[in-house]
Amino acid sequence: MPSHPLVRSVLLAVLVSTALTATAQAQPITAIPPAGPVQGVVTPAMHEFLGIPYAEPPVDALRWAPPVARPAWTTPLDASAYGNRCAQVGGAFGEASTNEDCLFLNVYTPHRKTVPERDLKRKRPVMVWIHGGAFQSGSAENYDPTKLVTEGDVVVVTINYRLGHLGFLAHPALSAESPDAISGNYGILDQQLALRWVQDNIAAFGGNPKKVTIFGESAGGISVHTQLASPLAAGTFHRAIAQSGAIFTQPTLATAETSGSSIADTLGCSDQTAACLRALSVEDVLAHQPLTLQTASPVIDGVVLPTPLRTAFSTGAFNHVPLIEGSNHDEMRLFVALFFDLQGGPVTEAGYVDAISALIGIPPGAAGLLAAQYPTAAYPSPGLALSALATDAAFACNAFAVDRFVAGRVPVYAYEFADQNAPMTLLPPASFPYGAAHATELQYLFTLPQAFPQALSPDQETLADSMVQYWTRFARTGKPSARRSPRWPRWSLTSAPQYLSLQAPAPIVMSEGSFRGDHKCSFWDNVLGN
């Protein structure tokens, strides 16, 4: 992750915003779930119950331990403001924080009066959002779900979970404490505890615990895949939406423990004890946490994540629920701009092979072979050639592999977000157009803080309306649909597979062959083993 002052200032600028919802003049509203009474607020758009603790603070002996459910309370909890962000250095999806007491969630409901808890048929579908940020930054509060709640008539829950080393450090001493001899998946376990909280409590907010959809983007999309593959999450959700989450590079426990031992040395814990690690200050942990895309990840530990995600999906060893799976047409343009344009300058012809090697972490010799598949002469610039290569390798072809793996077992609906004029609100202009870059689809579903404010055009607002309908009707019925928009076909193994290209103003149904040709998936399937 970049350290150039311009890039750091850009990444932090997106976070310097006022609260997404002004509550100073809002009227209070009370819900009484089994966890305890909470007093939220009525805003012009919806009911908000913010900063609800679903777990004990993961501090002291609970640092690097599975989360512990918060005991029920009897005094009404003030739920008018967000809880603490999880500890992080700060980045494009989260403001810097040194607070470990961060396991909070937020519940948003439509204005209409809730119905009795026993009447589940009249309760609304529930959508649980898992934020992105490379598993090292981000916060639930950055995602204002007004569009989903008001237009889709659903209950939305957004959650915090532990990040970075504090959420994903595996270490032999920590594994030795575990009855299962595992460590490293604390952030994933946080998500699972939040999902169990939803099962136990959401009816009191007018939500149906039998119609829970998990959805997330980037690290949140990887989290969705991880929960699909985790037997510990079985029964806590009933549909899933993975946005830009088909990344299959999770380490094994042995590899992660070796890395964790090296991290302990760097942190000054040469004795390699859990006691030394827990005695470290949050500031020390964050100061030695590199800001890279590989810093934190779920771990293949045999219990929380029993097998690699590719294996889980290809063998059917996952939680069988309807799935929306997709990626963005130009995912890696965001990262090429971030790591090259905004640091040393645009990728050059002379530096192309080295740039491939640096971006996707392979030797220069192998990078040269890939460069032959993506010659710079075939693209307007070396930066766009690199972006296309990395998009196809990391996101696009893996997403379609998931579709193929699971289609015979569960209903799956494939999409590609392809609005070439999607506003880029996170970064300044680069040497190439951003197109449908990583995370640009989020503004069509949520209201987000913006470092470089831009509004959606009328055509893009029309696309946003369709996306909100597709997402929320999928949560309601298990089948995505939208008024005055194309029927979204279920991905099929027996007939010509089709996917939905999300373009403004109207989505287009396209063939799998079109996607695979555009992203060179025949080549990448051989390379990646899809």
Instruction: Give 420's DSSP letter.
Output: T
Cα-to-chain-centroid distance, residue 339: 21
**What is the identity of the amino acid at 41?**
V
Q: Half-sphere exposure of residue 493, counting CA atoms within 13 Å on the CB side?
A: 12
Cβ-contact 129, 218 below 8 angstroms: no
Instruction: Please tell me the distance from the alpha carbon of residue 51 to that of residue 46, in angstroms, as a whole number.
Output: 16
Instruction: Give 131's DSSP letter.
Output: -
CB atoms inside a 10 Å sphere around CB 124: 25
Cα separations in angstroms, 309 against 169, 303, 399? 19, 13, 12
Q: Half-sphere exposure of residue 497, counting CA atoms within 13 Å on the CB side?
A: 22
CB atoms inside a 10 Å sphere around CB 288: 14
Catalytic residue among 225, 238, 438, 519: 438
Instruction: Please tell me the distance from the alpha carbon of residue 97 to that of residue 99, in angstroms, as a whole number.
Output: 6
CB atoms inside a 10 Å sphere around CB 512: 18
Cβ-contact 359, 339 below 8 angstroms: yes
**What is the identity of the amino acid at 502?**
L
Instruction: Give 216's DSSP letter.
Output: E
Sign of CA pseudo-dihedral 222, 437, 155, 157: positive
Contacting residues for 287 by C-beta, under 8 A, at least 6 apart:
none
Any catalytic annotation for residue 95? Answer: no
Nearest to 84 by CA among 75, 76, 70, 94: 94
| DSSP-assigned states of every residue in 269-281 | -TT--HHHHHHS-
Any catalytic annotation for residue 217? Answer: no
Catalytic residue among 48, 95, 331, 416: 331
* Cα Rg, the chain, nearest whole Å: 22
Long-range contacts of 65-74 (CB under 8 A, 24+ apart): 65/177, 65/186, 66/186, 66/189, 67/103, 67/186, 67/189, 67/190, 67/193, 69/193, 69/196, 69/197, 70/35, 72/34, 72/35, 72/36, 73/35, 73/36, 73/37, 74/36, 74/37
Name the E strands within 168-295. Answer: 207-217, 239-243
Any catalytic annotation for residue 519? Answer: no
Instruction: Give 271's DSSP letter.
Output: T
Catalytic residue among 80, 139, 218, 244: 218
CB atoms inside a 10 Å sphere around CB 207: 26
Q: Half-sphere exposure of residue 200, counting CA atoms within 13 Å on the CB side?
A: 14
Nearest to 167 by CA among 278, 86, 112: 86
Q: Catalytic residue positions?
A: 218, 331, 438
